[in-house]
Amino acid sequence: MAKKLFGTDGIRGVPGTPPLDDATLYATGRALGTYLHRAHGAANVLIGMDTRESGPHLAALLAAGVTKSGGTVAFAGIITTPGVACLVRQNDFQAGVVISASHNPFHDNGVKLFSHAGMKFPDADEEVLEADIFQQQSESAPDDPTPLLADESLDAEYLKFLRERVLPGARLNGLRIVLDCANGAAYKLGPELFRSLGADVIAIGTTPDGRNINRNCGSLHLDGLQKRVIEEKAQLGMAFDGDADRALFVCGSGQIVNGDGVLLAAARFLKMQGLLKGDRVVATSMSNLGLERVLARENITLARTNVGDRYVLEEMLRAENVLGGEQSGHIIFLEDSPAGDGLLTAVKIASLVALCGKLEHLITGFKDYPQTIVNVKVRIKPPLETLPQVAQALAEAESALGENGRIVLRYSGTEPLARVMVEAEHEADVERFSQSVANALRTAIGG
């Protein structure tokens, strides 16, 4: 059954309007508490949020709903999404709730749910919650829900977990690092973590005002970080998004390293240590063909899933792999955590640099194939294979590219868009075939 509230990453929207209106948020808290009592006999819930100005009100409404259902709430205050996942896993919480819209602008927000295992709720559980939320919506939300007070000891526990994930033998003392914390959830935790590990830290994006999260900073805007790394003669730059579940990197030379590069560097190290189970890495359909090629030369298989870190995790668990992630910077080190964690990834990469030298040297041989994504606005979303014009354009493009390129065609999970991703050895082929498939989509179902 198709879900109406939960998308690929929780419930998203604009606060004050459905599905983030007060009645739905209060009903979500009540439904969560009821579900947890039914499943576990208790409903101890941990809530955290990023720096958006709407966060405290949303958190208070959800907490009021959980309490109304007989549950109890602990509040971590401003903390990363994977920080909540970690603390839920390590403590006596039946679920975690994160108030965040990740890399979106401040006027958006969202609700992400984590089970006691520190993983996102399965689709089936979200369907059960949805049905209960719709039943509960008729009850009015409190006009002035009680503000929550943060338990700062939770921050300390999460930072301790991260410090213990430094690779054996790595010493970060004196490593010069620039952190871009996106004016988001990592604005305090990131600098505190790396300074406590002995690194020489220059921090930017650490002055949140409720509205500047992700604004011209963080993992979607790397120009400022590149410039600062070079100016400061730093050995490494790190950029997080608003809730710090992803991390991208800048080498001392200014070269950008995305999630594909992180997977390559980590896979090489783990294989050298005999720790890369199955000599297999899990990524999504969006990871570059260049990553697949360079891993194959080193007898490492790249498995691909649908876009979304939950699908990466499902495949890792199924095949018992230890490393996976997305080009966007969501990386899962499963031996440490089932959650994509930007700060954990940053600790691992900083450790590799301290142990093995410059990051650019850790990704040698990686040729990033030219790639583009064309978004096509659509009025309907029928199965793509039922559109003859699209199928023909796709078949012609794939035949011409052969093994020297890839095309991925999919619908957006949250917007009325179809996405056409094309990558190939030559830029001209990328442009030609992305436009031919996009034009076929516009003709068939364009909005």
Tell me, yes or no, if 102 is annotated catalytic. yes
Number of neighbouring beta carbons within 10 Å of residue 38: 11
CB neighbour class for 204 (10 Å; exposed up to 12, middle 13-18, buried from 19): buried
Rounded to whole angstroms, how far apart are CA atoms 56 and 25? 12
Residue type at 181 in one-letter notation: C
Cα 327 to the chain's mean position, in Å?
10
Three-state DSSP class for residue 31 = helix
Q: Of the residues 54, 100, 102, 287, which is catalytic?
A: 102
Contact 270, 336 (CB under 8 A): no
End-to-end CA distance of the chain, in Å? 25
SS3 content of the chain, % helix, strand, coil (to 5): 40, 20, 40
Rounded to whole angstroms, how far apart are CA atoms 401 and 434? 12
Of the candidates 79, 303, 317, the one whose C-alpha atom is nearest the C-alpha of residue 190 is: 79
Helix residue ranges per DSSP H, 69-122 = 81-90
Rounded to whole angstroms, how far apart are CA atoms 404 and 425? 6
Question: How much is the CA Rg of the chain, to the nearest whole Å?
Answer: 22
CB neighbour class for 341 (10 Å; exposed up to 12, middle 13-18, buried from 19): buried
Rounded to whole angstroms, how far apart are CA atoms 25 and 275? 43
Rounded to whole angstroms, how far apart are CA atoms 362 and 288? 17
Three-state DSSP class for residue 93 = coil
Contact 47, 127 (CB under 8 A): no
CA–CA–CA angle 361, 364, 367 (5° rounding): 145
107: left (phi over 0), alpha (psi -120 to 50) or beta: alpha
Cα 355 to the chain's mean position, in Å?
27
The H-or-E segment that residue 164 falls in is: none
Cα distances (angstroms) measured from residue 73 to each of 80, 120, 332: 18, 19, 28
Catalytic residues: 102
